[in-house]
Structure 1
């Protein structure tokens, strides 16, 4: 968080100096694209049915950077919205500023501890109190496959990184691109974390990239991860630098490339192109990661208000986590409901597989936050690690040097 703790602490008194309009819910978000905007309209309708006035506070910019700048200004001026779209460790950072309200009353009444996986519930809490409500789950460790490309190349869909190398080589010999990729730091990190998970497994991933354990980061497994990433990199085309993720997805859709490593927001591109899962494209876990699940979750933090009347805030949180909104939002977004036991009958096969794996990995202890998507590391460390991975992929940096630099990057605060 760029604003200093001192600056925000001085503003806390101001936060409580303003009355929220009774029954008004002002929500900061960056859901401005087609399917997302439809979902926001549905949320507005549901809140209106409960007697509340919706005040939209949309700030365009898919990654939310613009929204965070605006939010910090509002909080420092003592005029926070009811809720704001914030995720991962940033929830804890905002909790530490003393400006959030708790959702314990609604969470207890609606048994959030039972309907949310423990790893998700803990992310929504600050000092064991709910201060945020989750909206959805995106699976990150997907590999999107064009089966026709594989058929032409005589290759089989890989389940290990050794098999990946074989399949990619066959695809290239058949005159096609093996891996569609966009050379941007967050995309590079998305590939890296799937490689790390496939090489080291869930326990290694958790120690290295969630707990930032020095021994795990400085291990032979991390070295092998970088070596494997270099192998994956050689199967990407020379035009990848700066390419947007959706253009890479289009390469798979159009049969120019065989695979892409990307979260399930990529599915929306296939759907928009009229493609059918299981026939025109396959959604499979990245090699070696089928027993694990890296997640990216959208969520809202809620701010304290002077009048201390949290009815509108609690109704907002309750609505967001309701089965009805969870279904309509995630059908539009391409993600899956965050509630365990959700009705998946209206969802496509990829979403059904994602949901089944979400439940299974929760039980197995291999449901893991995606560090590439802001769910695991403090923002400073995440940025430094992403930059390192990107530098490695775009240079001749040795794997040994990369491991040493990773140790330094992970300590950034």
Structure 2
């Protein structure tokens, strides 16, 4: 359901009550879902920076990798008149909140730091609503990554797969070696991430038509049936205990050598770093087979809510936005988070090989037209459409439904508004 529909329904019950507890220039309440090890260290950098500037940080952390629980909590807070100073929101949902006239703009910060020059055009546009900046971006995550335990890879022959045939041969070798081939969690957004990776492996042009344009001909094509066939084969390499498993627990399985590979965005790299594992030595990060020239981006950002009915940003909100886009913070946050800075031109010399490759591939993809928004992570479509499509994928991956039936259901789901 869209934000406006939920707000209208709750407002009708008379839940518009108090005012925000956050005091301008004194207390900054921040709602987010960064609760894993690497994520906590990353958000801790922002907390420390704001504390040093004299602001009191009020942490409103809601567990859940995809942020669904956090979004539910946020809606409740806004409706009850207790909107946080800032909240982690991204993609089309930014404009949906702006349309409710509950956000403040941070144009002064964007102008001072020249965001238009220092952000990729595709991302700069997402941070705005009706010509005003209402969100500050943290970092860029590449979603189409494959993580491989280095010892398991070496034992299976040492060749990193570049296409699906090579991938399945590697998975079979790992299985023969007594290693679970794919570490997989059991949440809908994780299912959706894997499916999206396979869509991208068909090429950026196919991805754009299917995911961004929601083209019915593409969604019902034989090529989309092939996508579901590949996903079905992937599920045969999952373990039966994955139900309800969080993404970071699946990452830990690769870290500990209990599983060979994981499909996950580069926030997983923060978990490897937190476990003192080194890229190239303990694990390998590679583009998902068939996606080396493409880049699905997932951009974390904060939007800023009106406080006490004020239409203008508070000093604390201005300081928060300015800190987020400062080069030093961008660098340190991403080093902990596993991402790369969203701000262009930040020094990458202290980043690991995976991050350096991510940055290089990002620049190439931007120029070549392969830089595309992630559907599974809230960047490509609104909640209603993405949710309906996600339901189709999760049903398929947890049943014996045919690929043809799934494709028909997907095309119907894509028309959900």
Q: TM-score, normalising length from structure 1? A: 0.89
1:182 to 180, 185, 198: 185
Q: Aligned residue for 1:62? A: 64
Aligned-partner Cα distance in 2 for 1:20–1:254: 42
Shift of 1:246: 2.8
Which of the numbers 253, 256, 279 marks the counterpart of 2:255? 253
By how many angstroms is 1:339 displaced?
A: 0.7
Report the Cα distance in structure 1 between the residues aligned to 2:44 and 2:157, rounded to whole angstroms.
47
Instruction: Give the superposition deviation at 1:179.
Output: 1.9
Name the counterpart of 1:114.
117
Partner of 1:273: 275
Aligned to 2:86: 83
Task: Identify which of 387, 397, 404 aligns with 1:393.
Answer: 397
Distance 1:113 1:9 in 2: 37
- 1:13-412 aligned within 5 A: 21-24=23-26, 25-50=28-53, 52-63=54-65, 64-154=67-157, 156-199=159-202, 201-305=203-307, 306-310=309-313, 312=315, 313-412=317-416
> CA 1:381–1:156 in 2, change beyond 3 Å: closer, same or farther?
same
Larger CA deviation: 296-305 vs 77-86: 77-86
| SS of the residue 1:114 aligns to | helix
Secondary structure at the counterpart of residue 294 of structure 1: strand
Higher deviation after alignment, 262-271 or 30-39: 30-39
Distance 2:238 2:254 in 1: 13
**Contact 1:7 / 1:76 at 8 angstroms: preserved in 2?**
no
SS in 2 for 1:92: helix
Distance 1:243 1:18 in 2: 35
Contact 1:143 1:261 in 2 (8 A): yes
Q: Distance in 2 between matches of 1:259 and 1:346?
A: 26
**C-alpha separation in 1, matches of 2:157 and 2:48:** 51
Q: Is the 8 A contact 1:140 1:263 kept in 2?
A: yes
**SS of the counterpart of 2:267?**
helix
RMSD: 2.7
CA contact (8 A) 1:384 1:409 kept: yes
- SS of residue in 1 equivalent to 2:297: strand
Q: Post-superposition shift, 1:322?
A: 0.5
Indicate the SS of the match to 1:297.
strand
Q: Using the TM superposition, give the Cα deviation of residue 65 of structure 1 relative to its aligned residue in structure 2, in angstroms.
A: 3.5
* Structure 2 residue runs without a partner (length 5+): none
C-alpha displacement of 1:41:
4.2
Q: CA deviation digits over 1:306-355, x for unaligned, max 9?
A: 45453623332111110111122222222221111111122222122112
3-state SS of paired residue (2:110) = helix
1:15–1:101 distance in 2 versus 1, CA, 3 Å: farther
Report the Cα distance in structure 1 between the residues aligned to 2:266 and 2:211, rounded to whole angstroms. 21
Q: Which moved more, 1:189-198 or 1:298-307?
A: 298-307
